Amino acid sequence: MKNSWLRKISLAMSLVLLGSMSSATFAGTNPKSPARTAVATVAAEDAMAYLPDSQGIAVLNLQQIYGSFVMKMAKDNPDFKKGLDEVESAARVYGIEPSQMEYLIVGMPDDPNALKGSSPKVPVIISGSFNQDQLLTALKASPDKLEVKSEAYGNETVYMINPVAGASGGNATKPKVLTNDDFKANSSKSASSKVGSDPVALAFLNSHAAAIGDRDSVLRVLDTKAGKIPSVTSNKKLVAAFQETDSSAHIRFASAIPASLRKEMEADINKNQQMGQMFKPFLAITTAFGSLDLSSGLKLLTTLRANTESEAKPIFEQLNGLLAMGKFALNSSEKKQEKELAELLNGISINQKATDVQLNIAIPESVFKTLTEGKQKHESEAK
């Protein structure tokens, strides 16, 4: 986990980790005002305007996630509640008020390879109320663990947050701050290398929004802000798909399936003809979009769109076939846990409407509680 992308960001600034479990309350601010604690009403579409044109987009409504039944269940668990309390306390040290975060927005780049490896190269925007001065001060407070450097990029400032190699583990040698050359050299080394993690870039977009991620992705966000490259909001097809999703949902997503990814899938299918034929119909999917609601239970609605009705039909038939196989296998099992899992499949329905195939998953909160209690009982008996 040392080199995982989420760990790097949480180590550097605690923004993503905190954002995914935070709520939002905003009032108006002037985006051009100096960096200070800010409270603002920011619609998801407004924050999306900073995101470079992408193949896909995911928007997490942090306020609703914080109030979801999943978070309530987590808080009812003493172990989880302790962890959440610790994270919220740590966030405030960094000038982040968990009760005043709003959106976490992630763009999917054109190149699928950017998603591979321990450090996906994707632009991330987080909006909400946080004290920018306090955040930077806290990050600079432990130079033996993090080195924070700033660089000018046009009229903007980019902060590079570099984990210090040898900061933990009690090495007798003096910790080394890695340079960009070190990071480039390290990228070609094996995953077992003990050289430090990749640096994280941070740039404040205004008084209530920031871009985080790898340096190139953050610079692209700043170029989008400056009007040098198109915003994802100019991608009419993607925006239209996104607008078809439930605007009140906790998580909304939309993605065009890039030709490069389709070719990669086709190559995998051709390598295994027997299994490949089962998934071949899915090559016809051009766009996927949907929403996840966690108000009371789980409600996931995903739409898979093909160009023609005749292309959508095999997708519909294949998904229903796979669902039937899953139900048969779990219901035929004598294991209690697998029979309980069959309850999950009973909440899945698949329908076709013209060129769209809709996958609807509805799992009541009571089913989640039953599965959770069963798992805890099983673990207790195993001890």
Query: For residue range 270-295, what is the model confidence (pLDDT) as tens digits?
Result: 887 777 778 889 999 999 999 999 98
Query: What is the rounded CA–CA span in Å between residue 40 and residue 32?
Result: 13
Per-residue pLDDT at 237? 93
Query: What is the rounded CA–CA span in Å between residue 294 and residue 69?
Result: 6
**Residue 24 — pLDDT band, cuts 50, 70, 90?**
very low
Query: What is the rounded CA–CA span in Å between residue 6 and residue 126?
Result: 14
* Bigger pLDDT: 143 vs 118: 143
Query: For residue range 295-348, what is the model confidence (pLDDT) as tens digits?
Result: 888 999 999 999 999 999 999 999 999 999 988 888 887 777 777 777 788 889
Query: What is the rounded CA–CA span in Å between residue 91 and residue 128?
Result: 13
Provide φ and ψ at 337, rounded to 5°. -60, -40
Query: What is the rounded CA–CA span in Å between residue 196 and residue 361?
Result: 41
pTM of this structure: 0.76
Angle between helix 336-345 and helix 365-382 axes, rounded to 10 deg: 160
What tokens appear for 166 in the block? 């040898």
Query: For residue range 69-87, what is the model confidence (pLDDT) as tens digits?
Result: 888 888 888 888 888 888 8
**Residue 6 — pLDDT band, cuts 50, 70, 90?**
very low
Domain-wise residue ranges, the chain:
5-237, 257-382
Distances (CA, A) of 352 to 285, 311, 312, 319: 13, 11, 7, 11
Per-residue pLDDT at 45? 77
Q: What ranges make up the beta strands (E) of 118-178?
A: 124-130, 146-153, 156-165, 176-177
What tokens appear for 275 in the block? 């299994």
Q: What is the rounded average pLDDT of the residues 165-180?
A: 46
Report whether pLDDT(12) > 60.
no
